[in-house]
Structure 1
Amino acid sequence: MFAVLPIISPIFIVIAIGFAAVKTELLPKSAVPGMGRFVLYFCLPALIFSTLAHTPIREVIEPLYLAAYGGGSLLAFALVFGLSRAFGSQTSAATLNALGSAICNSAFIGYPVLLQVFGTLPAAAFTMTLLVENLLIMPLTLMILELNRALAEGGSTRQVLINFVRRLFTQPILLGILAGLAFSLTGLTLPGVIDRSLEFLAEAAAGVALFVIGGSLVGTQIKGDRRAIAIITLAKLVLHPALVALMVWWLPPFDGQLQTIAILAAAMPMLSIYPVLAGHYVAGGRYAATLVVATLSSFLSLTVVLWLLF
């Protein structure tokens, strides 16, 4: 197990630096959201677009990877949603519990981990992971939450669907994926100066993303239903990768590295905007606490997953 510590430690060291910078007020807490938007709106879309534009389209999509990662994620979502409802949670709370168990922080933690493990970004696996998260799990979550709200408030289902589609296709990461796939499909090439400019933005993604994670942890208290926090954390860090591993085992064999990445990707903690999204639909601060606990606990869980996989 100690052999994988040099892989995972640099990631959490940068997170710790971000935490220390904000904690000591060397960097104001108010600057962290802007840095996060810089990663989400500029660095990651540039990285994804540039990578896909240089990758043949047939090398990007592996149906069995999509089935394994998507199927395992859906199983985690459905299982946690069903159990939450069975134990008395309202639909919105059950949906957010399911989201926290089934969607990963691929942009801010998954990308740096893959980069650290493999040396270069596995473009196909990273892209397919983001496709599952942005075209399956997140849309499913938003659809349930918005329809539930519309039913409670007597709103229009038609307007909910219009807003849903509008929100879906204005996500910068999804737009980067679609544009990169279009360039790959058509065989177009970018002018050298544009290509190099995108590389500058892409190179900033990993370090800034991890720094933002650390800074965002400052000031967040572990409060709320601690039992629920522990259950969602375990579901995310243990159940989700276990179900993806089950899908990998059950499906016909496919590329070994992709099988490994599917399980590793599922082992990441939940996405950084989890408590922000939750705040739009339910009251209570336990979602921020869950994010903190899961992110800190992932140092141990990712170490174990890497040890088992490698």
Structure 2
Amino acid sequence: MTNLLSIVLPTFGLIGLGYAAGRLKLLGERAGDGLSDYVLLIAVPSLIFRTLATGEIPAQNPYGYWIAYFAGVGLCWAAAMAVAMTAFGRDRREGAVLGFTAAQSNTVLVGVPLILEVYGEAGGTPLFLLLAIHLPIMMTVAALLIESAAVDAKPAAIARRLLRTIVTHPIILALAAGLAAQRLGHPPTGALRSVIDQLSATASPCALVAMGLALKRFGFFNDMRAVAVVSALKLVVHPFIVWLLAFHVLDVPPVWAGVAVLFAAMPCGINAYLIAARYKTGEPATSSAIAVSTALSVVTVSVWLLVIGAA
């Protein structure tokens, strides 16, 4: 129990600090936006680059790792879409957004700091490799489903937008730079290493405070039937599928299996709200799902830490 508290309390304590700062108007929406931008554009890419540039890539690719995680993604996405369209009468565009919300983990703001707290440097490589693969796949599928539902959708325009998003995303660029530095044997040294280390150290606390500010901004209580379904899929069903496959069906190294389960156990990601806001569909349900699933994840993540033997 002591180990569990030492993992959970610092993570969610910083989220609570950000939420309190927003409630007390010590920090406003502009501060939250700026902090989130800093985390996404500078701090987390620095952390990813440092981890990969100074780490070792496994000689053998654990394919079971990818299969376990993305099987959970696909099943939860499909289930959320089906419920949204059949039980709640939503159109295909909103169904795609709710499916994305049920399958997209909040890795940058919650997952990265928590998983690194649990597994340390040993979890860095599987975490950031999955983070990099996860982002382009999820964003690509979401955009294709939403934009193809439009009457005037043009495949060439969709493809151009997707390609531009993927090749200019800071996390993808950091991954590519880190892998290149590792493969070429030129990790950062000297003053450059010092700067990258200092930026990397700010990623976790800034991300967690930013998440707390986001919770204050988005609120908790909108479209609660849809929110309940999405949150249950994200916090319970997704990690259960990954745990079953990674620990009991497929051949996955223990640390990689644990990272996959915790990655899946994260609350709904803030990218889901950004997608909803961009396409002007599903915003109330998505913002509430982020808030509710993040609050509930204090309990559910604690349970999954016990299940995988990490606490």
Q: Where on the TM-score scale, by shorter chain, does this alignment land: which range?
A: over 0.9
Equivalent position of 1:218 in the other structure: 216
Q: Distance in 1 between matches of 2:176 and 2:60?
A: 12
Alpha-carbon distance, 1:289 to partner: 1.1
Q: Distance in 1 between matches of 2:193 and 2:302?
A: 35
Is the Cα contact below 8 Å between 2:51 and 2:125 reproduced in 1?
no
Q: Distance in 2 between matches of 1:164 and 1:2?
A: 45
Report matched runs for 1:189-268 at 5 Å.
189-249=187-247, 251-268=249-266
Alpha-carbon distance, 1:309 to partner: 1.5
Q: Distance in 1 between matches of 2:290 and 2:8?
A: 19
Q: Distance in 2 between matches of 1:2 and 1:300?
A: 15
Alpha-carbon distance, 1:121 to partner: 6.0
Residue 303 of structure 2: SS of its match in structure 1?
Answer: helix
Alpha-carbon distance, 1:249 to partner: 4.5
- Which amino acid letter does the alignment assign opposite residue 254 of structure 1? V
Report matched runs for 1:1-310 at 5 Å.
4-58=4-58, 61-87=61-87, 88-120=89-121, 122-149=123-150, 152=151, 154-249=152-247, 251-281=249-279, 282=281, 284-310=283-309
Q: Distance in 1 between matches of 2:163 and 2:283?
A: 28
Shift in alpha-carbon separation, 1:132–1:73, aligned structure 2, 3 A: farther
Q: Distance in 1 between matches of 2:136 and 2:143?
A: 11
Q: Distance in 2 between matches of 1:59 and 1:180?
A: 17
Shift in alpha-carbon separation, 1:24–1:61, aligned structure 2, 3 A: farther
Residue 58 of structure 2: SS of its match in structure 1?
Answer: helix
Is the Cα contact below 8 Å between 1:240 and 1:266 reproduced in 2?
yes
Q: Distance in 2 between matches of 1:198 and 1:284?
A: 36
Shift in alpha-carbon separation, 1:28–1:68, aligned structure 2, 3 A: same
Is the Cα contact below 8 Å between 1:108 and 1:206 reproduced in 2?
yes
Q: Distance in 1 between matches of 2:60 and 2:203?
A: 21
> Which is worse superposed, 29-38 or 72-81?
72-81
Structure 2 residue ranges without an equivalent (≥5): none
Alpha-carbon distance, 1:171 to partner: 1.0
Alpha-carbon distance, 1:240 to partner: 0.7
RMSD: 1.9
Q: Distance in 2 between matches of 1:85 and 1:283?
A: 12
Alpha-carbon distance, 1:274 to partner: 2.1
Q: Distance in 2 between matches of 1:60 and 1:219?
A: 44
Is the Cα contact below 8 Å between 1:105 and 1:269 reproduced in 2?
yes
Is the Cα contact below 8 Å between 2:227 and 2:289 reproduced in 1?
yes
Q: Distance in 2 between matches of 1:131 and 1:59?
A: 19
Residue 280 of structure 1: SS of its match in structure 2?
Answer: helix
- Which amino acid letter does the alignment assign opposite residue 202 of structure 2? A
Q: Distance in 1 between matches of 2:230 and 2:250?
A: 30
Structure 1-normalised TM-score? Answer: 0.92
- Which amino acid letter does the alignment assign opposite residue 44 of structure 2? L
- Which amino acid letter does the alignment assign opposite residue 104 of structure 2? I
CA deviations 1:121-157 (Å, max 9, x no partner) are: 61221123203321322211112112223xx2x2422
Is the Cα contact below 8 Å between 2:68 and 2:250 reproduced in 1?
no
Is the Cα contact below 8 Å between 1:111 and 1:121 reproduced in 2?
no
Is the Cα contact below 8 Å between 2:102 and 2:234 reproduced in 1?
yes
> Which is worse superposed, 55-64 or 274-283?
55-64
Q: Distance in 2 between matches of 1:289 and 1:254?
A: 34
Q: How many pairs were matched up?
A: 307
Is the Cα contact below 8 Å between 1:60 and 1:127 reproduced in 2?
no
Q: Distance in 1 between matches of 2:187 and 2:82?
A: 47
Q: Distance in 2 between matches of 1:251 and 1:135?
A: 27
Q: Distance in 2 between matches of 1:61 and 1:107?
A: 24
Structure 1 residue ranges without an equivalent (≥5): none
Is the Cα contact below 8 Å between 2:238 and 2:264 reproduced in 1?
yes
- Which amino acid letter does the alignment assign opposite residue 253 of structure 1? D
Residue 218 of structure 2: SS of its match in structure 1?
Answer: coil
CA deviations 1:248-283 (Å, max 9, x no partner) are: 246432211211221111000011232232122215
Q: Distance in 1 between matches of 2:124 and 2:288?
A: 32
CA deviations 1:13-54 (Å, max 9, x no partner) are: 111111112221222332110110000000011110111111
Q: Distance in 2 between matches of 1:29 and 1:191?
A: 37
